[in-house]
Chains A and B, each alone.
Chain A
Amino acid sequence: ETGVTQSPTHLIKTRGQQVTLRCSSQSGHNTVSWYQQALGQGPQFIFQYYREEENGRGNFPPRFSGLQFPNYSSELNVNALELDDSALYLCASSVGTSVYQETQYFGPGTRLLVL
């Protein structure tokens, strides 16, 4: 058990809708990263938050946005859903930020299906 939880576990939306995914990090972990994992692929980095500020972003459009709260919880919001947004969304928490040695601990993920 990593102590990282995500909700909901599964979600079905239709194209054009908006969705909010939630993550609760390990206590004491100031960094949360979000990844998208399409079927048959490795996870792709969406963005990272450190102490409630965005601290890095991958090649994802602005309709992917996030928030991090002081209580170690965070959200991933996706607007104007597209069929290609169907994927497993993983959040990962870690203690600090600019330390390449640091391990990221993942939650169980949210499976999003866009119809």
Chain B
Amino acid sequence: AQKITQTQPGMFVQEKEAVTLDCTYDTSDQSYGLFWYKQPSSGEMIFLIYQGSYDEQNATEGRYSLNFQKARKSANLVISASQLGDSAMYFCAMRERTGANNLFFGTGTRLTVIP
């Protein structure tokens, strides 16, 4: 089974609007971390936001927020007030307490911001 599932290969959003990128995860660990990264065409993975499995509040970082629904095992990224520079690939990732200390990534969502 896939550890991370991103069901939206591509999304479009109008500049200044908000957009939600979906992510569901699968783990039997009680302790885990969820991460979102942005990957522009240059290739570098840019860390955006983190949510821990025990965090009761949804994480926020500037225009980024994470809608964490633990019972549904979902960790959706919300980008508010989209900007043209937000156009990129977005990856959801998870790190479990057990295992090889690695990040499991989804297949990504390509976001295009329309002027």
Tell me the bound Cα distance from A19 to B68 in angstroms. Answer: 41
Query: B45 and A100: CB pair below 8 A?
Result: no
Tell me the bound Cα distance from A56 to B108 in angstroms. Answer: 24
| B103 lies within 8 A of chain A by Cβ | yes
Residues of A within 8 A of B101 (CB): 31, 33, 48, 55-56, 97-98
Closest Cβ–Cβ distance, residue A87 to chain B (whole Å): 11
| A107 lies within 8 A of chain B by Cβ | yes
CB under 8 Å from chain B, chain A span 36-52:
40-45, 48
**A42-B108, A100-B95, A100-B97 known; A58 vs B102 contact (CB < 8 Å):** yes
- Of B31, B37, B47, which one neighbours A100 at CB under 8 angstroms? B31
Tell me the bound Cα distance from A2 to B97 in angstroms. Answer: 24
| B115 lies within 8 A of chain A by Cβ | no
CB under 8 Å from chain B, chain A span 84-115:
88, 90, 92, 97-98, 100-109, 111
Return 15 A-B CB contacts under 8 Å, by A number. Answer: A33-B102, A35-B105, A41-B108, A42-B108, A45-B102, A56-B99, A88-B43, A90-B43, A92-B45, A97-B101, A101-B95, A102-B33, A106-B47, A108-B43, A109-B43
